[in-house]
Structure 1
Amino acid sequence: MVHFKCYPTSNPDYVWPYCPSFGAAIAFCMFFGIVTFAHITQGIIYRRAFTIVVIMGATWETAGYAFRAVSITKQLNSTIFTVQLLLILLAPLWINAFVYMVLGRMIHFYLQPDKAIGIRARNITKMFVWFDVFSFLVQLIGGLMTNSSNPLKTQRLGIHIYMGGVGLQLAFCLIFVLLAASFHRSVKRANRSTPAPLLLPRYGHSPSDDDLPTTGAADMGKATPSFDFSNGSSPTAALRLLYTVYAVLSLIVFRNIYRLIEFSLGVLSSITTHEWYAYVFDAVPMLIALVIFNFLHPCRTIRGPRSDFSEENKAIKEAKRAKKLAKKEGKKAAKKERLVTKNEEKERRKQRAAGRIGRGTHQELRDEYGV
C-alpha cells in the first residue's frame, strides 16, 4: 500500500496545485504501457523504421504517468514533478511527427509524381518533421521554465513561451491539413473513376511507358497510370487511412487547444487547480490517438516497394556514388593528361637543347678551319 501526504497548496515547497490522484496516474501508466507494448510488437512485425516515432510517443506518455505516480509519493520534489510534466507535455509531438510521416508515405505510395501542392512527398516529411522539432524545442524551453522552483515571473514567461510553441504546432498542423486536402482530392477522384488519375500502381519499379495505359490526344502526352487494387491499395483503403490521419490529428489539435486555454488562464486558474481537466482533455485524447493507430496501423495499408523511401534513398546513394566515381575518374584522366603534356614538354626541351648544341659545334669547326 502506497502512502503519501498531500500538503496545503499554500506551502511554498509544495509543487502540486491540488492533491493529485495516485490511482489515476497508475491506471493511465498501465493503459499507455499496454498501447506501447502493442506498438512495439507491430513495429517488429511490420519492420518499418518510422514506427519508432509513434513508439517513442507512447513510451513518453507511459514514462510521464509513471513519473507522475512517483511524484505523487514525493510531493515536495520539484525535479520529479518537472520530469513528469515535460514528458506529458512533449509526448504528443512524437505522435504529431508520426502523422506527418504517414501522409508523406501515402503521397509517395499512391501518387505519381509523388507531390501535393507541388511539394515532393520526401520533402513534405522532412519539412514537417523539422517544424515539429522546432516546436518541440520551444515547448521544452517553456516547460523547463514553468518549474515550480523558479520565481513566479519566470514561470509566467515559461508559460508564454510554451504557448508560443503550441501555437506554432497548431499553425504547422493547419498547413499540413492543406496538403492532406490536396491528396484527399486525388484519392476521391480515383474513387470515382477507373483508371484513377494521378494514382500510381505498385509495379515494384519505376513505371515505364509499357506499364502505363495509353492516353488520348487531349491528354497532351500526359501519362495516366492505372490503380493497382492488390495488397489493399485501393482508393477505399487510401481514404480509410486518410480518415485515420484526420482523426488522430483532430485529437492532437483538440489537446493543444486545451493546453493553450489552460496556460492562457495563468498558473493558478480553475483549470490548473483541478486534476480531472488534464486527464479528460490531454491523457484520454492521446490514448485514443495511439489506440486508433493500433487498430488502423498505416503499415497494414502502405505495403510494398513504395511503402517508404528506401528505394529512392538507394537510388540517390547510387547516383551520388556514380557521380563521385565519375569525378574521381575525371581527376585521374586530367592528372594523366597533365603528366603526358609535361613529359612531351620535357622531350621538346631536350630536342631544342640538342639542336642548339649541334649548331654550336658546327660553328666551332668552321671557325677552326676557316670554312
Structure 2
Amino acid sequence: MENGKPVEGSLYVYAPNKVAPVFFAIAFAVSAVGHIWQCHRYKCFKMIGLHPLCAVLFAAGYALREYGAFDYVYTGSFLTLITFILSQIFIYICPPLLELANYHILGRILYYVPYFAPLPPGRVLSTFGGLMIVVETLNSLGVALSTNRSSKSGVQELGSQITIAALAIQLGVIIIFFVLAAIFHRRCAKGNINARAISTPLITLYISMALILIRCIYRLVEHFGNTTVRVGDAESLIALSPILRYEWYFYVFEASLMLINSVIWNVWNPGRYLPINRHIYLARDGKTELEAKVQTAGRPWLALLTLGMFFREKQEYHPFLELDGYSDANSRI
C-alpha cells in the first residue's frame, strides 16, 4: 500500500489499514452521541437531525471497513463483497445529506432575519432539497455500481459516470450556497445586524461547506481517472488512478474532512444560537426578537416527504410588523 503497488484480488485495491477504521468508527460514534444529546437538549432535531443520522452511518461504514480489513480478498464470497459495498455506500451517501443539512440551517438563519434574505426562507430547503434528492439518488446508484467489483467493467464505468454527474451537480449547488450566504451576510453587515445568533452559525456554515467542497473536488478528480477495478488483473490495477491505489488519500480527503465537519457542528450546534420556533425573528434594531402571527391551515404529511416542494402549508406570515411599533407582533427581548 505504501508504494502504491496494488494487491491482487483486493476489493480495496490495496491492503487496507486495520487501525484507522477503528479510530474513525469510534470518533463518529462519539460524535453521534454528542449530536443526539445536543439535539435533545436544545430541542433541535428538526434543524440538525441529519447530523446524528450521518454520524451513525459513518460509524457503521467504518465498522464494516474494519471488518473488511481482515477479509478484503475477493474469491467469490458474497459476504466479502456485500460488506465492502455497504461500507462504501454508508460512507459516501452522507456528504450530500450533510450539505442538505447545511441548507436547512441556512434557511433557519434566513427565517431569523427574513428582511435580508436573498430568497424566501421557506424556498431554500424546498428548492435545494429537491436538487439534493437528485444528487443523493445519483450518488447512491453510482457508488453501488462502481464499487461492485464482481460486475463487468462497463457497469463500473457507468457507475463512475453517474457519480461524476452527482458530484458536478453537488459542486454547482455548493457554489450557489456560497453566493446566497455571502449576499445575506453582506446585507446583515450593511444593516448593522451583528447578532451572534447569525454570525456564529454562518461562519460554521462557511467552514462546513468548504470542507464538503474540498471533498467534492477530491471525488471528482478520483472519478475522472481510471476507476474500473478488475480484482484479478494485475496490469489493470497498476493502471488505476493513484487516488485509488494509495489509501491515505481516502483518509485525508474523505474520512478526516467529514469527521472535522461533524465535530464543528457538535461544538457550534445551531440550536444554541437560533430559536426553535422559526417564526421568531430579529427586529431591525438587531436586539429585539419578535414572534410573527401565523395562521396555519396544516401541512399534509406528504409535504414532509417532498421537503416542502409540494403540498405546502397555507399560512399568513407577516415578518416585518415591527415597523408599526410592534403592534401586531409579540416582542421578545
Question: TM-score by structure 2 length?
Answer: 0.75
Distance 2:298 2:279 in 1: 20
Task: Say whether residues 1:40 and 2:41 are aligned partners.
Answer: no
Instruction: Classify 1:34/1:133 alpha carbon distance in 2 versus 1 (closer, same or farther; 3 Å).
Output: same
Q: For 1:270 and 1:132, how far apart are their aligned partners in 2?
A: 29
Distance 1:264 1:23 in 2: 29
1:208-287 counterparts in 2 under 5 A? 234-267=194-227, 268-287=240-259
What is the match of residue 317 of structure 2?
none
Count, aligned residues? 269
Post-superposition Cα deviations, 1:304-362, rounded to whole Å, max 9, x if no partner, equal 543689x9897332699xx99xxxxxxxxxxxxxxxxxxxxxxxxxxxxxxxxxxxxxx
Aligned to 2:323: none
Of the two, which has the highest radius of gyration? 1
Residue 168 of structure 2 corresponds to: 167
Amino acid at match of 1:106: I
C-alpha deviation, 1:247, in angstroms? 0.4
**Deviation beyond 4 Å, 4+ runs, structure 1:** 311-314
Distance across 2 between alignment mates of 1:313 and 1:175 = 31
| Residue ranges of structure 2 left out of the alignment (5+ in a row) | 1-5, 75-79, 228-239, 282-290, 301-312, 315-333
Aligned-residue Cα RMSD (Å) equals 2.6
How many angstroms does 1:74 deviate by? Answer: 2.4
Cα drift, residue 236 of structure 1: 4.2
Contact (CA 8 Å) 1:170, 1:253: kept in 2 or not?
yes
Give the alignment partner of residue 90 of structure 2, picking from 62, 87, 90: 87
Measure, in 2, the Cα distance between the counterparts of 1:294 and 1:183: 24
Q: Residue 96 of structure 2 contacts residue 136 of structure 2 at CA under 8 Å; is this kept in 1? A: yes
Structure 1 residues not aligned, in runs of 5+ = 1-7, 197-233, 325-371
Structure 1 distance, partners of 2:218, 2:299, is 48
User: Kindly tell me: are residues 304 and 160 of structure 1, through their superposed partners in 2, closer, same or farther at Cα, counting changes over 3 Å?
Assistant: closer
Instruction: Note if 1:315 corresponds to 2:295.
Output: yes
Instruction: State the SS of the aligned residue for 2:49.
Output: helix
1:67-119 CA distance string (max 9 Å, x none): 1112222223111101101111111112111110000000001223x731xx2
> 1:289 & 1:52 partners in 2: Cα distance?
15
When normalised by structure 1's length, the TM-score is 0.68
Aligned to 1:26: 22
- State the SS of the aligned residue for 1:299: helix
Which fold has the larger relative contact order, with Cα–Cα distance below 8 Å and residues 6 or more apart in sequence? Answer: 2
What is the aligned-residue identity percentage? 28
Q: Give the direction of change, closer, same or farther, for the CA distance of 1:141–1:124 in structure 2 (3 Å limit).
A: same
Offset at residue 303 of structure 1 (A): 1.8
Aligned to 1:201: none
Distance 2:246 2:218 in 1: 14
Letter in 2 for 1:64: G
Change (3 A) 1:130 1:18: same
Q: Which position in structure 2 is the counterpart of 1:148?
A: 149
Shift of 1:137: 0.4
Contact 2:114–2:120 (Cα < 8 Å) also in 1 = no
- Say which is worse superposed, 243-252 or 59-68, in terms of deviation: 59-68
SS of 2:295's partner is: helix
Query: Deviation digits for residues 205-262 of structure 1, max 9, x if unmatched?
Result: xxxxxxxxxxxxxxxxxxxxxxxxxxxxx53441222111000000000011011111
Q: Tell me which residue corresponds to 1:137.
A: 137
Specify which structure has the higher proportion of helix: 1
- 1:203 maps to none
Q: Residue 69 of structure 1 aligns with which residue?
A: 66
Which residue does the alignment assign to 2:278? 306
The alignment partner of 1:315 has SS state of strand
Instruction: Report what 1:57 is aligned to.
Output: 54
